[in-house]
């Protein structure tokens, strides 16, 4: 019911109008806060991926009475099965089972023959032994738990029976990762791989050693060995960083890592790992105690000149002349996906996500055809350029039609704020459409952070960053981590610092492929 204010005194009418305006404003504030709370709940507790296809979401407004369980069940059914569901099913013969996947042929085969029961080994009629005519054969994967042993190293000593003044000659000590350590190189490498590749914290490794093998080693012993090995890798990662910065295209991202500091008791300091990498190439993590521009990318990227792909975080801005910023389409898309989670029946965010999907179709086509950078650029200009133009116009139109401040408006604002940077990928075939290569390198850190919880002190940060850089680079370059560390780590103690670039994973792999 609309209240007629014309008959009221001017003072009363003005008061009511002010109250109505305030009421509208408060309703908008409540709506926006409700959206924010719901979005936080979805991010913390909701599904990480959408079960519904984009086509199904676009049809939902036409079926407002559909129940949530029905929607989820329908979403799990492939489109092909839905199309064939109404057709009569022809009678088909039962297909034979294809069997299990064969176990690897390179593994040693150890035969174990199980004899028949003694009563079955003799003929019941003539009493003669029944001959073996064959075997029922199956294979199973066996294993022997890790076996530890003590290596006793005897260095030969030789004296002189006729010239005692010559002294005693002793065989040279073999190089070790940690000199004079009671832990062998292969054991230290195994500890490194367990912690930073399998994300098993040191205290669990110690517990496993004592429980399964009766070997008692303190956490301090293992931690000291890890940090000593990590210190050796720091120059290697610096050489790797110099190689990265000499190029003209980088991706960057950052994540938190808890760190204990003396100033805080009972609470960790929030430190940061800044990642810089080249798609399909080397990765470097830079440890910093803060998230500011000066201590983070401002310092690391001083010598860099080229294109830097990152999200919209302000610390990446104003890094100096010579850097061209490239945005990330995955971040733009994610904003609209979040809006869809808030309002599943709103077709507008689904429409934008579908348009972005057309851009990714072009990228998949380029990958499937193994196109060069120049060929990928030509394909983008042929197919992606028009999609980007139409997509920008549609986002602008939606933004004009929506009230400021709601979730969809914020998604549009973020997209438009990044648009000029996003268009850079249309001008260079080596630039990716998104930062997913970089974000993928962050996932192991999230797993490790959940297991080993925090860094013991600030001084450990650069060393741990060096190990993670090597582990992730080896993963990207398809290098066996144990093989690489086993060859490189023992050398580093006596290796000339001027030649350390020869031992980066990239150079190491290139040298072995010659």
Question: Is the model more confident about 52 or about 331?
Answer: 331
Q: Which residues of 309-335 are buried (b: 16+ CB within 10 A; e: fewer)?
A: bbbeeebbeebeeebbbbbbbbbbbbb
Is the pLDDT at 48 greater than 60, yes or no? no
Q: Which residues contact 343 (CB under 8 A, 6 or more apart)?
A: 349, 407, 408
- Residue percentage of the chain with pLDDT more than 70: 81
In this prediction, residues 160-166 reach a mean pLDDT of 72
Structure confidence at residue 84 as a pLDDT band (50, 70, 90): very low
* C-alpha distances out from residue 306 to 2, 123, 299, 438, Å: 61, 85, 16, 17
Distance CA 219, CA 216 (A): 10
Higher pLDDT, 319 or 402: 402
143 vs 99, which has greater pLDDT?
A: 143
Q: What pLDDT is recorded for position 245?
A: 92
Mean pLDDT is lowest, of 2-6, 105-109, 371-375, for 2-6
CB burial readout 65-80, b (16+ within 10 A) else e: eeeeeebeeeeeeeee
Across 120-264, where does the E strand assignment appear?
157-158, 169-170, 249-259
pLDDT of residue 445: 76
Q: What is the longest distance spanned by two Cα atoms in the chain?
A: 130
Q: In this structure, what are the phi and psi dihedrals at residue 426, rounded to the nearest 5 degrees?
A: -80, -5
* pLDDT bucket at 2, cuts 50 / 70 / 90: low
Maximum average pLDDT range among 38-47, 152-161, 289-298, 448-457: 152-161
pLDDT value, residue 233: 94
For the ranges 25-34, 158-167, 182-191, the lowest mean pLDDT is seen at 25-34
Helix or strand or coil: residue 179?
A: coil
Strand partners, 255: 273
Q: How far apart are CA 491 and CA 203, in angstroms?
A: 29
Q: Return the percentage of the chain with pLDDT > 90, whole number.
A: 30
Please name every residue paired with 306 in a beta bridge, in sequence order, or none if there are none. 323
Q: What CA–CA distance (Å, rounded) separates 29 from 177?
A: 61
Least confidently predicted of 11-15, 281-285, 356-360, 469-473: 11-15
The rounded mean pLDDT for the chain is 81
* 267-307 tens-digit pLDDT: 788 888 889 999 988 999 998 888 777 777 888 888 899 99
- pLDDT of residue 222 exceeding 50, the answer is yes
For 472-485, write each residue's pLDDT tens digit: 999 999 999 999 99
More confident position, 312 or 135: 135
Give the integer Cα–Cα distance in Å for 216 and 361: 55
Residue 241 has pLDDT above 90, yes or no: yes
Contact 291, 268 (CB under 8 A): no
Q: What is the mean pLDDT of residues 320-328?
A: 87
The confidence score (pLDDT) of residue 42 equals 60
Give the mean model confidence (pLDDT) for residues 399-403: 86
Higher pLDDT, 439 or 285: 285
Which range (124-128, 408-412, 476-480) has the least confidence? Answer: 124-128
Q: Is the pLDDT of residue 464 over 60?
A: yes
- Of 93-97, 142-146, 432-436, which gets the smallest average pLDDT? 93-97
pLDDT reported for residue 302: 87
What whole-number distance in Å separates Cα of residue 137 and Cα of residue 135?
6
* 3-state secondary structure string across 361-394: HHHHHHHHCCCCHHHHHHHHHHHHHHHHHHHHHH
pLDDT attached to residue 76: 54
- Predicted local distance difference test score (pLDDT) of residue 66: 39
C-alpha pair distances (Å), 274 with each of 94, 245, 297, 481:
56, 14, 8, 22
- What is the torsional sign of CA 326, 388, 332, 71? negative
pLDDT at 440: 80
Task: Give residue 253's pLDDT.
Answer: 87
What number is the average pLDDT over the span 102-109? 86
Question: What pLDDT score does 9 carry?
Answer: 73
pLDDT value at position 179? 84
pLDDT band at residue 382 under the 50/70/90 scheme: very high
CB 449 within 8 A of CB 257: yes
Tell me what pLDDT residue 444 has. Answer: 75
Q: What is the reported pLDDT for 255?
A: 85
Determine the pLDDT at residue 83: 47
pLDDT for 155 beyond 90: no
Confidence of residue 68 (pLDDT cuts 50, 70, 90): very low
What DSSP character marks residue 122?
B
Contact 252, 308 (CB under 8 A): yes
Angle at 180 between CA 177 and CA 183, to 5 degrees: 60
Query: In whole angstroms, how large is the CA radius of gyration of the chain?
Result: 32
Question: For residue 351, with 0-12 CB atoms within 10 Å meaning exposed, 13-18 middle and 19 or more buried, which class applies?
Answer: middle
pLDDT bracket for residue 415 (50, 70, 90): very high
Whether 410 shows a pLDDT value over 80: the answer reads yes
pLDDT at residue 140 above 50? yes
Residue of higher predicted confidence among 63 and 428: 428
Of 417, 408, 440, the C-alpha closest to 335 is: 408
**Contact by Cβ (8 Å): 363, 442:** no
pLDDT at 459 exceeding the cut of 90: no
Instruction: Tell me the residue length of the chain.
Output: 514
Cβ-contact 458, 158 below 8 angstroms:
no
**H or E stretch covering 288:** strand 283-288
Contact 284, 275 (CB under 8 A): yes
């Amino acid at each position: 019911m609309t209240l007629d204010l014309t008959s009221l005194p001017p003072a009363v009418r003005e008061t009511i109008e002010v109250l109505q305006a305030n009421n509208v404003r408060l309703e908008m504030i409540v709506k926006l806060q409700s959206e924010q709370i719901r979005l936080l709940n979805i991010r913390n507790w909701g599904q990480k991926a959408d079960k519904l296809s984009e086509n199904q979401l676009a049809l939902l407004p036409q079926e407002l009475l559909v129940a949530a369980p029905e929607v989820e069940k329908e979403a799990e059914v492939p489109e092909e099965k839905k199309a064939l569901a109404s057709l009569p099913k022809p009678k088909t013969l039962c297909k034979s089972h294809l069997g299990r996947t064969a176990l690897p042929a390179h593994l040693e085969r150890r035969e174990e023959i199980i004899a028949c029961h003694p009563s079955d080994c003799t003929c019941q009629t003539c009493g003669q032994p029944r001959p073996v005519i064959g075997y029922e054969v199956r294979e199973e994967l066996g294993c022997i738990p890790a076996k530890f042993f003590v290596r006793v190293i005897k260095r030969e000593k030789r004296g002189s029976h006729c010239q005692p003044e010559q002294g005693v000659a002793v065989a040279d000590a073999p190089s070790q990762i940690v000199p004079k350590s009671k832990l062998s190189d292969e054991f230290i490498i195994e500890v490194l791989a367990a912690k930073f590749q399998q994300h098993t914290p040191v205290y669990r490794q110690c517990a496993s050693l004592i429980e399964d093998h009766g070997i008692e080693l303190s956490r301090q012993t293992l931690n000291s060995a890890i940090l000593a090995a990590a210190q050796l890798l720091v120059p290697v990662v610096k050489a790797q960083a110099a190689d990265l910065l000499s190029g003209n295209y980088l991706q960057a991202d950052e994540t938190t890592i808890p760190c204990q500091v003396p100033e805080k008791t009972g609470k960790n300091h929030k430190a940061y790992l800044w990642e810089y990498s080249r798609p399909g190439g080397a990765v470097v993590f830079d440890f910093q105690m803060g998230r500011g521009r000066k201590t983070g990318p401002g310092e690391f990227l001083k010598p860099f000149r080229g294109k830097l792909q990152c999200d919209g975080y302000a610390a990446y801005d104003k890094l100096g002349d010579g850097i061209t910023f490239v945005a990330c389409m995955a971040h733009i898309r994610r904003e609209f996906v979040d809006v869809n989670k808030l309002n599943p029946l709103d077709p507008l965010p689904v429409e934008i996500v579908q348009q972005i999907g057309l851009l990714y179709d072009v990228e998949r086509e380029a990958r499937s055809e193994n196109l060069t950078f120049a060929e990928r650029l030509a394909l983008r200009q042929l197919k992606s350029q028009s999609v980007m133009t139409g997509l920008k116009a549609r986002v602008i139109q939606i933004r004009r039609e929506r009230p400021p401040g709601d979730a969809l408006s914020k998604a549009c604002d973020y997209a438009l704020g990044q648009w000029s940077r996003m268009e850079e990928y249309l001008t260079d075939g080596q630039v990716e459409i998104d930062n997913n290569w970089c974000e993928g390198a962050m996932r192991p850190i999230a797993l490790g952070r959940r297991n080993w919880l925090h860094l013991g002190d600030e001084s450990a940060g650069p060393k741990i960053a060096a190990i993670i850089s090597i582990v992730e680079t080896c993963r990207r370059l398809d290098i066996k981590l144990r093989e690489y560390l086993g060859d490189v780590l023992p050398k580093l103690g006596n290796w000339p610092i001027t030649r350390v670039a020869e031992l980066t994973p990239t150079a190491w792999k290139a040298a072995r492929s010659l």
